Amino acid sequence: MSRGAAMLIMGVFTLYFLTPIWWLLVSSSKTGGDITGTAPLWFTADSFPTFFANLGNLFTYSDGVFGRWLANSALYAGLGALVGTVIAAMCGYALAKYEFRGREAIFNVVLSGVLVPATALALPLFLIFSQVKLTNTLWAVFLPSLVSPFGVYLARIYAAASVPTELLEAARLDGSSEARTFFTVSTRLMAPALVTIFLFQFVAIWNNFFLPLIMLRDQALFPVTLGLYAWNSQISQIPELRVLVIVGALVSILPLIATFLGLQRFWSSGLGAGSVK
Amino acid sequence: MKVTRQTTVPAIATGAPTIRKRATSSAQRRAVLLFVAPFGVLFLAFYAVPIIFAVVQSLLTVERKGTFGPPQQVFGGFIQYQQVFQNTEFWESVGRVLLFGVVQVPIMLGLALLFALLLDSPLLKGKKFFRLAFFAPYAVPGVIAAIMWGFLYSPSLSPFGAVTSQVNFLSADLVLWAIANIVTWVYVGYNMLIIYSSLLAIPTEIYEAARLDGASNLQIAWRIKIPLVVPAIILTGVFSIIGTLQLLAEPQTLRSFSSAISSTFTPNLAVYTTASVPNYSLAAAFSVVLALATFVLSFVFLKATQRKVSQ
């Protein structure tokens, strides 16, 4: 293949991947009428003030519920992924670096957990949570999000490859406790895997739809995706919501894109770990 | 990472070998418990127990004493499963996602492999830009992606009015492929990166040796690179199969743009609809069948591809 052909393929697909996001950005800077009336992929003369007016409306509409949704998503995904990563890393590390009875059995059970679709768990979780009166609470979405079998799998593979057993033995001889060795020495060596686990769990929780959809009734508890979904399904009755949905969609994807760009250096080296034998 | 071997290690260890060994191993046992317990407890509570609960729930059925008696859950054996097998809407939805998967997954993974190979080839300039541009859609949640594309598909709002006024992507004939396009758009970059990072792990000496033997770039890609990234492709394949059978957010969101998507369009939508009736026992039976199907399909795919690799 020639250089020209390669660049052409990549160029065409760059348009495919970026045009929808570009359209979202441009549309966010238009009034409801201008979205249909003006050139869809270019700004209008008033784009700048209109964008900020839209943004203002987004955060004040319905007593500022959108800000609440963003905060909820940040809590569910941010804190959930953080705690979940630590828990998964400890388990994967133990499976990689210690010999104990039942080790392979535990690993196999966790591995089969990777294959269980999250949506198949959502309904039984709803039934269980409704018996202990936990549906329609923060906990109903937060607690199940902490479990990441794929995180354990990644952590095990990465720990096995990057934490030398000799180093652990040396730490033991120096009198360091197992937990201290893990948190001060091993986690540093596992950093790329930890960032990767965190990011992918963050995205999985941020994107999770079924669990909040069936668990939550109270709008104040919605994550941003469920909130925008709810607004989007009311557009036919309340047309002014269309602009808010578009601006809201833009605002809701920016934190994720920023997180990925900011942490790129770390996760791109950890990403390959899951696929290397 | 290199660790310099310390000659003092055996010398210290021989001082009191048995005591030290016993002391460390009990400390290590406690450490294992400490490390595994948090995940273990959560896994039991939010994976194992719900699965067991779903199976139990699917074996129950609601009965009333007389016409006006209070409803009561009683053991019903496989009645729900009989209903699952007789439910044509559910099986239509299964057929729909299987058709979807057979078409969409190979296209998506084929593109991901092509992009990964191009990124890894000496042909491209601006690799970093392409990598980020192709990966960016992965940061867009399924619901948001479906809302965006819903607008893009709509004849009145779309920037591609010339196309969308001629072809109705939201019609009954095309809406499944409209969803396939959204899923492809979101996940190609993610799969590309997984394959690309496993290409980066291949030692470059292999290519030098092949070049000395007169291999072209294309031959290197076909004979060396692709066979070596098969494990990565299998991994992305398994995740894609799971994802396909789980389709929910995109079709559910697009329902506000298209009347062609029924409340049982995908198996998960059927579960959701049945649960909101509410008929929890039948919905639980759907979930169990779906989870089993996912398991079996992923497993068969793993076995089939592994056999091919070892041949």
A147 and chain B: CB distance < 8 Å anywhere? yes
With CA atoms as reference, the chain B residue closest to A87 would be B39
- What pLDDT does B163 receive? 76
Residue B4 has pLDDT above 50, yes or no: no
- What pLDDT does B98 receive? 95
Instruction: Tell which of B19, B29, B33, B36 to mutate to test the A interface (max A CBs under 10 Å).
Output: B36
Residue B5 has pLDDT above 50, yes or no: no
Do the chains contact at A229 and B42, CB–CB below 8 Å? Answer: no
Distance of CA A232 to the CA centre of its chain: 21
Give the closest of B53, B252, B291 to A128, CB-based: B53
Residue B161 has pLDDT above 80, yes or no: no
Do the chains contact at B294 and A116, CB–CB below 8 Å? Answer: yes
Average pLDDT over residues A145-149: 95
Average pLDDT over residues A56-81: 93
Shortest Cα distance, chain A CAs vs residue B283, angstroms:
8
- What pLDDT does A228 receive? 95
A93 and chain B: CB distance < 8 Å anywhere? yes
Residue B1 has pLDDT above 90, yes or no: no
Lowest mean pLDDT among A110-124, B150-164, B166-180: B150-164
Instruction: Tell which of B39, B42, B239 to mutate to test the A interface (max A CBs under 10 Å).
Output: B39
How large a percentage of chain A has pLDDT more than 90?
61
Q: How far is CA B150 from CA A179, A194, B294, in A?
A: 50, 36, 28
Q: What is the mean pLDDT of chain A?
A: 89
φ, ψ for residue B63 (rounded to 5)? -130, 150
Do the chains contact at B194 and A271, CB–CB below 8 Å? Answer: yes
Residue B134 has pLDDT above 60, yes or no: yes
Measured distance CA(A146)–CA(A110) in Å, rounded: 14
- What pLDDT does B310 receive? 57
- What pLDDT does A32 receive? 76
CB contacts, 8 Å: A87 with chain B: 38-39, 42
Bridge partners, B143 (sequence order) = none
Q: Identify the CA nearest to A222 among candidates A29, A21, A62, A86.
A: A62
pLDDT digits (tens, 9 = 90+) for B117-130: 999 988 888 888 99
Do the chains contact at B51 and A121, CB–CB below 8 Å? Answer: yes
Are the CB atoms for A146 and B273 separated by under 8 Å?
A: no
The confidence band for B19, taking pLDDT boundaries of 50, 70 and 90, is: very low
Do the chains contact at A252 and B253, CB–CB below 8 Å? Answer: no
- What pLDDT does A274 receive? 52
Sign of CA dihedral B117, B122, B128, B129: negative
Are the CB atoms for B130 and B114 separated by under 8 Å?
A: no
Shortest Cα distance, chain B CAs vs residue A112, angstroms:
8
Do the chains contact at A90 and B147, CB–CB below 8 Å? Answer: no
- What pLDDT does B90 receive? 94
What 8-state DSSP symbol labels residue B264?
T
Q: What is the mean pLDDT of chain B?
A: 85
pLDDT digits (tens, 9 = 90+) for B240-273: 999 999 899 999 999 988 889 999 999 999 999 9
pLDDT digits (tens, 9 = 90+) for A210-257: 999 999 999 999 999 999 999 999 988 888 899 999 999 999 998 888
Higher pLDDT, B4 or A169: A169
The confidence band for A259, taking pLDDT boundaries of 50, 70 and 90, is: confident
Do the chains contact at A124 and B42, CB–CB below 8 Å? Answer: no
The confidence band for B10, taking pLDDT boundaries of 50, 70 and 90, is: very low
A8 and chain B: CB distance < 8 Å anywhere? no
Do the chains contact at B132 and A261, CB–CB below 8 Å? Answer: yes
pLDDT digits (tens, 9 = 90+) for A28-37: 988 777 777 7
Lowest mean pLDDT among A77-81, A267-271, B278-282: A267-271
DSSP class per residue in A205-236: HHH--HHHHHH---GGG--HHHHHHHHHTTTT
Give the closest of A6, A91, A210 to B124, CB-based: A6
- What pLDDT does A216 receive? 95
- ipTM value for the complex: 0.90
Residue B11 has pLDDT above 70, yes or no: no
Question: Judged by CB atoms within 8 Å, which residues 42-61 of A form the interface with B?
Answer: none
pLDDT digits (tens, 9 = 90+) for A169-203: 999 999 899 999 999 999 999 998 999 899 889 98
Residue A161 has pLDDT above 70, yes or no: yes
- What pLDDT does A190 receive? 92
pLDDT digits (tens, 9 = 90+) for B27-54: 888 999 999 999 999 999 999 999 999 9
Residue A90 has pLDDT above 50, yes or no: yes
CB contacts, 8 Å: A232 with chain B: 147, 150, 253, 256
CB contacts, 8 Å: A251 with chain B: none
The confidence band for A271, taking pLDDT boundaries of 50, 70 and 90, is: low
DSSP class per residue in B44-106: IIIIIHHHHHHHHHHTEEEEESTTTSPEEEEE-TTHHHHHHHH-HHHHHHHHHHHHHHHHHHH
- What pLDDT does B61 receive? 82
Are the CB atoms for B254 and B180 separated by under 8 Å?
A: no
Does B278 sit behind a cis peptide bond, omega within 30 degrees of 0 on the bond before it? yes
Q: Identify the CA nearest to B178 among candidates B272, B91, B93, B104.
A: B104
Average pLDDT over residues A150-161: 92
- What pLDDT does B2 receive? 39
Are the CB atoms for B200 and B120 separated by under 8 Å?
A: yes
Give the closest of A10, A13, A94 to B124, CB-based: A10
Shortest Cα distance, chain A CAs vs residue B50, angstroms:
5
- What pLDDT does A74 receive? 93
Residue B309 has pLDDT above 70, yes or no: no
Measured distance CA(B275)–CA(A115) in Å, rounded: 23
